[in-house]
Structure 1
Amino acid sequence: MGTSADDAAAEFHDFFERHYAELARLAHLLTGEADAADDLAADALLALWHRWDRVRTARHPAAYARGVVANLARSRIRSAVRERRRIALFWDRRPEHTDDPDIPAVVDVQGALRRLPFRKRACVVLRHAFDLSERETADTLGISVGTVKSQTSKGMARLEQLLGSRTAASQLVGGRK
């Protein structure tokens, strides 16, 4: 039994030596991040090692390994996109100067937004203040398009209740009345 484990370890070591550079290059081309490439290749090979009994009997182990790298790269890219969009929520992207802003209405809208549950607030802000599509909002928040639609609708309805009119809610889109 020890020989079989030794054989598997030797096979994996050989596989690692032959394919690590290729997998790292693939990761680099997929993500555009040289620093992340080595980490992704190493993570992929670690995942392969944990499943080595299945991988070594696969028809094309190198193709399987490339698929693992591609999936890890896709996850990394999605995470980075979500993180950038989350950060965007917290930074004001409006122009520095607005002619005659309606300060009380802006304060009212901000207060009303704070009263919404996070998911409704995030949907309303991303859709109306950042003008993201339903799909972009769903991807940013990691939820379905249907959830974005319902949460945005319910959030806007609640804002109208809190603010008393749609006119005040229009402050979300940059101070227009």
Structure 2
Amino acid sequence: MAGDDAAVEFHAFFERHYAELSRLAHLLTGEADGADDLAADALLALWHRWERVRAADHPAAYARGVVANMARSHIRSAVRERRRIALFWSNRDEDCADPDVPAVIDVRTALRALPFRKRACVVLRHAFDLSEKDTAHALGVSVGTVKSQTSKGMAELHRRLGPHATLEGVQAAAVDTGGST
């Protein structure tokens, strides 16, 4: 089949099945917002192997299988992320006597300025006192990544906060001071 004919055929398939595949993704994941994206990703994957899909006995069933597999992967990723968050919060120490609220706000502001991975490594290692191994497990990265990101994150905090930046400041920032920052 010529390239243009394949594109026309795929476009017709897309128009016929996109809404159905999006509904399937929504029902499987329970997420209306991500369902359209998941269906679009599945159709993109189908386009990349369109010759195999169109040769299948039931191309629509093949497409539903791709959506189901992608939904399964999405759900597994969400479960892993929930486990990481649960691990993060399970080791939270709520004790902080009389924090210096302005300093806590400065530290929180500086932490928010860090890229996510550096911030997560610094907070898990120093505010929640997780080991490098537990931090790596919680974030799904290697221990080496935790070491380098924590070091770089602390160096950046020291640059932002000056020489008075302390681990205690990071720990105090992790405790709710009663106000929102």
Q: Please state which band the TM-score falls in when normalised by the shorter chain.
A: 0.5 to 0.7
Structure 1 runs (4+) greater than 6 angstroms displaced: 93-97
Give, in angstroms, the shift of residue 71 of structure 1. 0.4
Matching of residues 105-120 of structure 1 within 5 Å:
114=131, 118=133
Residue deviations 1:143-169 (CA, integer Å, cap 9, x gap) = xxxxxxxxxxxxxxxxxxxxxxxxxxx
Among 1, 26, 32, the residue aligned to 1:28: 26
Unaligned stretches of 5+ residues in structure 2: 96-127, 141-181
Partner of 2:46: 48
In 2, the alpha carbon distance for the partners of 1:95 and 1:6 equals 62
Count of equivalent residues:
109
Matching of residues 2-151 of structure 1 within 5 Å:
4-92=2-90, 114=131, 118=133
Secondary structure of 2:87's counterpart equals: helix
In 1, the alpha carbon distance for the partners of 2:75 and 2:5 equals 36
Change over 3 Å in CA distance of 1:74–1:50 after alignment to 2: same
Give, in angstroms, the shift of residue 68 of structure 1. 0.3
In 2, the alpha carbon distance for the partners of 1:92 and 1:57 equals 51
Residue deviations 1:43-93 (CA, integer Å, cap 9, x gap) = 000000000011111111000000000000000000000001001111137
Residue deviations 1:117-140 (CA, integer Å, cap 9, x gap) = 626x95xxx9xxxxxxxxxxxxxx
Q: Normalising to structure 2: TM-score of the pair? A: 0.52
In 2, the alpha carbon distance for the partners of 1:27 and 1:44 equals 10
1:38 aligned partner, one-letter code: D
In 2, the alpha carbon distance for the partners of 1:96 and 1:45 equals 47
Q: Normalising to structure 1: TM-score of the pair? A: 0.53
In 2, the alpha carbon distance for the partners of 1:6 and 1:92 equals 56
Percent pairwise identity: 75
1:16 aligned partner, one-letter code: F
Secondary structure of 2:90's counterpart equals: coil
Unaligned stretches of 5+ residues in structure 1: 98-109, 127-140, 142-177
